[in-house]
Amino acid sequence: MCGPAWAQRPNATNAHRPPAKPPAPAAGAPAAPAKGPKADLAFGAFQRGSYLTAFSLATHRATEDGDPKSMTLIGELYANGLGVPRNDKKANDWYELAASRGDPDAMFALAIFRLEGRAGPRDREKSAKWLAAAAKLGHPIAAYDLALLYMEGELFPQDFTRAAELLREAAQAGNPEAQYALGTLYKEGHGVPKDMREAVHLFSLASLGDQADAEVEYAIALFNGDGVPRNQPLAAALFRQAALKGNPIAQDRLAVILANGLGIKADPVEAAKWHLISKARGETDLVLDDFVNKLDAKTRDAGEKAAKPWIDAIKASLAAKEHQAPPATAAK
């Protein structure tokens, strides 16, 4: 399950700000099967996509035994229209029933509902209260989202120490976003002692979870030998991974490496390609501009040709966003 994006994701030069997350689903499926054979069967059916079976088994378990995990599962099915018609009111009722019996997944789902204005008006304060309740019971993504609120400092007084505590809970549960965010706090010394070694360790863990910004931070540390032994070939590989995910900083750094043959063989065509792609995403690098301009026509044309599909996709994406954006006068 993914939580709401309450803050902007940092880049490599602005790493102390809390990262955003991808848009949240309506609510999350239970993090683990409910206890008992019937509940296990219901959750297993849900995982297989047998939603009607899951609904039947979970309903029996919820009504006969009052099992909160089964109630949460029913809420999930209603929330997303899986096997049953989507019904936010019924989903909300089941979530509230499960939350009243102490289920943290239901509490997290209610936080998302309050944030998105489903089954009632949007209410950030109530959303935050449900996050706090779920985090207290060990829900890692609720802990992560609550940490963002403490870093944001709007609903709660800004408290990086408390944010670090919450992020640590989520990081220890294996959440890559939390590992990355906690790493940025150690890098900058916000709420925790400044410790580049610990920051790099957390970036490396988040990189294993395919977190692109963490890959960039880990690659920068490896390239410079900051908090970790220097390893430019591995740094180049990580920059490439993040570049392929569309990270403009990684694309720019990869272009620099390829232009100069730093840790890997120089490749002017690939250097030009990645520079042009990162430039289309808004990165500015005058040195690379000069590098590309000085290439012979054949090499430069090859780089431009390789970059074109990426640049076309970027332009199409920007055009779609502009088309979907509401008029400026309507923004509140």
Domain ranges for the chain, please list them. Answer: 249-318
Cα–Cα distance between 77 and 89 in angstroms, integer? 12
Q: What is the pLDDT of residue 39?
A: 53
Q: What sign does the dihedral 264-268-269-270 (CA atoms) show?
A: positive
Q: What is the pLDDT of residue 20?
A: 34
Asked if residue 71 lies in contact with residue 101, where contact means CB atoms within 8 angstroms, the answer is yes
pTM for the whole thing? 0.80
Cα 239 off chain centre by: 18
Q: What is the pLDDT of residue 7?
A: 29
Q: What is the pLDDT of residue 25?
A: 36
- pLDDT in single tens digits along all 332 residues of the chain: 333 332 223 333 233 333 333 333 334 444 444 444 555 899 999 999 999 999 999 999 999 999 999 999 999 999 999 999 999 999 999 999 999 999 999 999 999 999 999 999 999 999 999 999 999 999 999 999 999 999 999 888 999 999 999 999 999 999 999 999 999 999 999 999 999 999 999 999 999 999 999 999 999 999 999 999 999 999 999 999 999 999 999 999 999 999 999 999 999 999 999 999 999 999 999 999 999 999 999 999 999 999 999 999 999 998 888 877 554 443 33
Asked if residue 213 lies in contact with residue 9, where contact means CB atoms within 8 angstroms, the answer is yes
Cα–Cα distance between 7 and 16 in angstroms, integer? 12
Q: What is the pLDDT of residue 321?
A: 84
Residues in contact with 320: Cβ distance below 8 Å, sequence separation at least 6, in sequence order: none
Cα–Cα distance between 104 and 78 in angstroms, integer? 18
Cβ-in-10-Å burial (0-12, 13-18, 19+) of 45 comes to buried
What is the per-residue burial (b if ≥16 Cβ within 10 Å, else e) of 137-171? eebbbbbbbbbbbbbbeeeeeebbebbbbbbbbbb
Cα 57 off chain centre by: 32
Q: What is the pLDDT of residue 320?
A: 87
Cα–Cα distance between 100 and 118 in angstroms, integer? 19
Cα–Cα distance between 176 and 141 in angstroms, integer? 10
Q: How many CB atoms lie within 10 A of CB 37?
A: 10
